[in-house]
Structure 1
Amino acid sequence: MRLWSLHPSLLDRQGLLALWREGLLAQKVLAGQTRGYRNHPQLERFRDCPEPLNAIATYLHFVADEADRRGYHFARERLHLPANEIRLTVTDGQLAYEWQHLLAKLTARSPELWQRVSALEPRPHDMFDIVAGPIASWERPA
């Protein structure tokens, strides 16, 4: 499971589809509707919120916005709650780590997108504010 801190516009088609699917799974886990992935470290930042289901729903609404921009239809009716004003933080170290991880994936999977985005600065998902710091404690570097 990878719930990117990066903006969904930086993902290729496969990455965006996987993010939606994995985000819906995360929503089920946070709602207590499945046994699998309950202890997955990627869920820690959502669990640490006062309203985890609101946080994951807001996260997924932004993902669906990107899908809309690309002409895809992601079923928003699968989201438990409407988007709201929840904000989370991401460290610059975490964002840099994810950026390198994504670029490595794009090199092999979508070289044309890699060509367009590799010179860019990493941009966070719309619900994240960047703060100074290292890779997140929940990240499991390879």
Structure 2
Amino acid sequence: MRLWSLHPSYLDSIGLIALWREGLLARKVLLGQTKGYIHHPQLIRFRETENPIQTIDAYLKAVHDEAVRRGYNFDLSKISSCECQPPPRLPLPDKQLEYEFHHLLNKLKKRSPLQYSILQHITPIFPHPLFQVVPNNICAWEKRS
């Protein structure tokens, strides 16, 4: 399970679709509707919030927004309405953002050379809207995955 901390606009179509599906799986895990993935390190940052479901839904809403921008038809009814007060932004160490960006570039080099060439020289790197970049080392939850 990979729940990118990068802005969803960086993902190619394969990555964006996978993120939506894995985000929905993460939501089911947080709701206790699965037997697997219950201890997955990518879920720690959501579990540690006051309202994990509201937080994962806000995460997924941003993924949905990017899909709509591209003309895709992701089913918004699979998440709760995010009309209430948005959850607080989660801290994201700058080193984690850099790590994920380079990880994505390595995937795109083979899978989507055009997207790779577009992103190769991008600066600054923007996080997913749910996250606030903070100076620090890699996240404790990411070291475990």
User: Which TM bucket (shorter chain)?
Assistant: over 0.9
Identify the residue that residue 138 of structure 2 maps to in structure 1: 135
* d(CA) in 2 for partners of 1:69, 1:46: 25
Identify the residue that residue 33 of structure 1 maps to in structure 2: 33
> What is the correspondence of 1:1-142 to structure 2 with a 5 Å cutoff?
1-82=1-82, 84-86=85-87, 87-121=89-123, 122-140=125-143
Matched position secondary structure for 2:24: helix
Matched position secondary structure for 2:92: strand
Give the share of equivalent positions with the same residue, in percent. Answer: 51
| Greater shift in the superposed pair: 66-75 or 82-91 | 82-91
Alpha-carbon contact 2:6-2:126 (below 8 Å) kept: yes
Give unpaired runs (5+ residues) of structure 2: none
* d(CA) in 2 for partners of 1:26, 1:81: 17
Matched position secondary structure for 1:138: helix
* d(CA) in 1 for partners of 2:8, 2:144: 21
Please report how far the alpha carbon of residue 85 of structure 1 lies from its aligned counterpart in structure 2 after TM superposition.
1.5
Aligned length: 142
Which amino acid counterpart does residue 68 of structure 1 have in structure 2? V
Alpha-carbon contact 2:41-2:144 (below 8 Å) kept: no
Which amino acid counterpart does residue 54 of structure 1 have in structure 2? Q
* d(CA) in 2 for partners of 1:134, 1:107: 26
* d(CA) in 2 for partners of 1:78, 1:56: 12
Which amino acid counterpart does residue 106 of structure 2 have in structure 1? A
Alpha-carbon contact 1:53-1:81 (below 8 Å) kept: no
* d(CA) in 2 for partners of 1:134, 1:96: 10
Matched position secondary structure for 1:64: helix
* d(CA) in 2 for partners of 1:94, 1:47: 19
* d(CA) in 1 for partners of 2:33, 2:64: 22
Please report how far the alpha carbon of residue 88 of structure 1 lies from its aligned counterpart in structure 2 after TM superposition.
1.1
